[in-house]
Amino acid sequence: MAEPSRDMIRPKNYMEDVVFRHLDRIIAGADCCKCPVCRMDVAAYALNRLPSKYVATREGEVYSKLLELEHQFEADVVIAIMKAIEVVRKNPRHKEMGKGD
Ligand SMILES: [Zn+2]
């Protein structure tokens, strides 16, 4: 059996995946703008307030790793996203970015 290629191994911040797994569901149920600008602002705000969790993983391994670790951070992620929605709703940037009405 060949060794796995070193090129296939990279560090990945799995917190990003956890945030994006919950983001759309929470935004859909929230009273907030759902345009792409606000969606990304919510994601960025939440990620800036959550710890980065880098793991070195091979392609294909990442999802089982994520599922295993996600439960530890799920509550924190949901809270961070809800807080982010509040902030973005009060301060939407979609106008200055020329995207919305
Ligand atoms: Zn918006």
Neighbours of ion ligand 1 (CB under 5 A): 33, 35, 38, 92, 94
pLDDT of residue 9: 74
66 closest CA partner among 10, 20, 23, 18: 18
pLDDT of residue 86: 97
- Domain total of the chain: 1
44 closest CA partner among 2, 85, 3, 98: 85
Q: What distance in Å separates the CA atoms of residue 50 and residue 24, rounded to the nearest whole number?
A: 18
Q: What distance in Å separates the CA atoms of residue 101 and residue 33, rounded to the nearest whole number?
A: 11
pLDDT of residue 62: 60
Residue 79 Cα, ligand 1 centroid: separation in angstroms? 20
Residue 32 Cα, ligand 1 centroid: separation in angstroms? 8
Range of the domain at 67: 9-90
- Over its length of 101 residues, how does the chain's per-residue pLDDT go in tens digits? 556 555 667 788 889 989 999 999 999 999 999 999 999 999 999 999 999 988 777 666 666 666 777 787 899 999 999 999 999 999 999 987 654 45
pLDDT of residue 56: 76
55 closest CA partner among 44, 67, 43: 67
- Classified as helix, coil or strand, 3 is coil
Pair of tokens at residue 34: 């759902």
Domain-embedded: residue 86: yes
Residue 41 Cα, ligand 1 centroid: separation in angstroms? 9
pLDDT of residue 53: 85
Domain-embedded: residue 25: yes
Domain-embedded: residue 61: yes
pLDDT of residue 63: 62
Domain-embedded: residue 39: yes
